[in-house]
């Protein structure tokens, strides 16, 4: 019976994990590329691709932000190719030389989903332990 009850719970937990997304925030260094039209207005919301040195598969594919900027965190030194283009034919294709130092930012101590879950459990167990000690002393 216990096994029968545990099965849907396990499946549900699996579904949660499949859809949940862990994240971390970390300080570090990024390359920010700013693109502008000839009249100075930002090349905003347009398609952009970034390629590692000598690679043909994009390292990053996305869009420029409202200010016409895109940012990427290089994980190696060299000439990174940046392409940005719009449907009306505007665009740029150039390289950005990046140094190896600081290319890979150090991770912070941010917690992912599993880490948070473990900490939560620890707090619960700790609280239960304290409560048990308090009750025993009273008896």
- Is residue 92 near another protein by the rule CB under 8 A? yes
Region binding another protein by CB under 8 A among candidate stretches 6-14, 54-62, 95-103, 119-127: 95-103
70, 64 Cβ separation under 8 angstroms: yes
Nearest-angstrom CA–CA distance, 14 and 104? 32
Which range touches another protein (CB under 8 A), out of 4-12, 29-37, 49-57, 129-137? 29-37
Residue window 39-58: x/- pattern of binding to another protein, with contact defined by CB under 8 A: xx--xxxxx-----------
Q: Is 112 in the site for another protein (CB under 8 A)?
A: no
Closer Cβ to another protein, 94 or 125, answer by number:
94
Residue choice 22, 67, 108, 122 for contact with another protein (CB under 8 A): 108
State whether residue 85 is helix, strand or coil.
strand
| DSSP three-state, residue 49 | strand
59 alpha carbon, distance to own chain's centre: 14
Per the CB < 8 A criterion, the answer to whether 98 and 74 are in contact is yes
With beta carbons less than 8 A apart as the criterion, state whether 120 and 128 touch.
Answer: no
Contact status, residue 84 vs residue 47, Cβ threshold 8 Å: yes
Q: How many residues does the chain have?
A: 139
Q: Which of 14, 28, 112, 129 binds another protein (CB under 8 A)?
A: 28
Residues 119-138 close enough to bind another protein by CB under 8 A: none
Residues in contact with another protein by the rule CB under 8 A: 23, 25-40, 43-47, 63, 71, 82, 84, 86-92, 94, 96, 98-99, 102, 108, 110
């Amino acid at each position: 019976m216990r096994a029968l009850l545990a099965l849907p719970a396990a499946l549900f937990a699996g579904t949660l994990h499949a859809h949940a997304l862990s994240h971390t925030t970390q300080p570090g260094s990024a390359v920010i590329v700013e693109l502008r039209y000839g009249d100075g207005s930002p090349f905003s919301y347009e398609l952009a691709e970034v390629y590692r040195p000598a690679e043909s598969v994009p390292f990053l594919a996305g869009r420029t932000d409202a200010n016409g900027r895109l940012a990427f965190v290089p994980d190696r030194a060299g000439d990174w190719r940046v392409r940005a283009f719009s449907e009306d034919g505007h665009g740029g294709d150039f390289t950005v030389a990046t140094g190896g130092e600081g290319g890979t930012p150090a991770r912070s101590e941010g917690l992912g989903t599993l880490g948070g879950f473990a900490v939560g459990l620890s707090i619960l167990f700790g609280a239960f332990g304290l409560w048990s000690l308090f009750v025993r002393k009273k008896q």
